Amino acid sequence: MENCPFCQLIQNPDQLILVGETDNFYAWLEVSPRAKGHTMVVPKDHTENLMELEPSEYKECMKLVREVMEKAIEGLGAEGVSVAMNVMEAGGQMLPHAYIIIFPRFSDDESSGTPAGAAFPHREDLQGEQKLREISDQMTSVQVEFETEVKEPHPDSQKFKEDSKKNKEIEDENEDSGDDGTRTMKRGHSIQWE
C-alpha cells in the first residue's frame, strides 16, 4: 500500500538489515531498537493484521520467529526472548501492516525477568468462577473456520525465483523442435503444429 511504512521498506529490501527470510516473510532488525537484536517479522505482501494470514502463512511465519529466537540465544547470547503479537489498534498494533516483534532478553537489562504480561494489571472485576464461565461461554460460542491453503511464494523471494528458473529449464529440456513441423516432448509425446 502506498502509505504503509512497511510496504515502502519492502519495496527496497536492500535497505533492510535482515536476520532471516522465508518465501513470504522478512525478519529485519528494528532501526530504533528497544533491545539488542530487536527484530520485526513482517509479511512481504501487505496484510492488515495477523488475523488475515492463511494457516500455511502462520506456520511459515512462526517457523521464522522460532529461527530468530534461536539466533538471538545462540548468536547474541540472549538469556531469554519475549515475542509480541499486537493485533489491531486496541491490541497495540501501531502500523496498518501485520508484524511480530521479537525482543531478546538479557539478565543485565533493567527489564530482565519482567514478563510481557506485566503491562496488564490484575482485574478484580474479571475474577471468580461465574465471571470466568460467562467469558468462556462468550468465547466458545464462536465457531472458527481456519482451513489450510497453500500460498504461492512472494515474487521477490528466492524460492519464487528458483522455482521459475527450474520451471523454465524443465520446459526447455522437455521441448525439442523437429523439422517436420512436430514438436517432440522428451517424455514421448508429440504435438502437431497447426
pLDDT exceeds 70 at position 64: yes
Residue 110's pLDDT is 86
Using one digit for the tens of pLDDT, what is the confidence trace for 133-172? 999 989 888 888 777 556 677 777 666 667 667 766 666 6
Residue 112's pLDDT is 87
Residue 146's pLDDT is 75
Structural domains of the chain sorted by starting position, each given as residue range(s) with its CATH number in brackets = 5-115 (3.30.428.10), 162-192 (no CATH)
Contact present, 14 and 23 (Cβ < 8 Å): no
Higher pLDDT, 120 or 86: 86
Residue 30: partners with Cβ closer than 8 Å, 6 or more residues away? 38, 39, 40, 101
Higher pLDDT, 89 or 179: 89
pLDDT band at residue 192 using 50, 70 and 90 as cut-offs: very low
Tell me how far apart the alpha carbons of residues 30 and 11 are, in angstroms, rounded to a whole number.
17
Q: What is the mean pLDDT of residues 48-75?
A: 95
Q: What is the mean pLDDT of residues 122-131?
A: 90
- Look up residue 100 and give its three cell numbers: 511480530
Contact present, 172 and 162 (Cβ < 8 Å): no
pLDDT band at residue 119 using 50, 70 and 90 as cut-offs: confident
In 3-state terms the chain splits into helix, strand, coil percentages (rounded to 5) of 40, 20, 45
Using one digit for the tens of pLDDT, what is the confidence trace for 4-19? 999 999 998 899 999 9
pLDDT band at residue 20 using 50, 70 and 90 as cut-offs: very high
Residue 49: partners with Cβ closer than 8 Å, 6 or more residues away? 87, 88, 93, 98
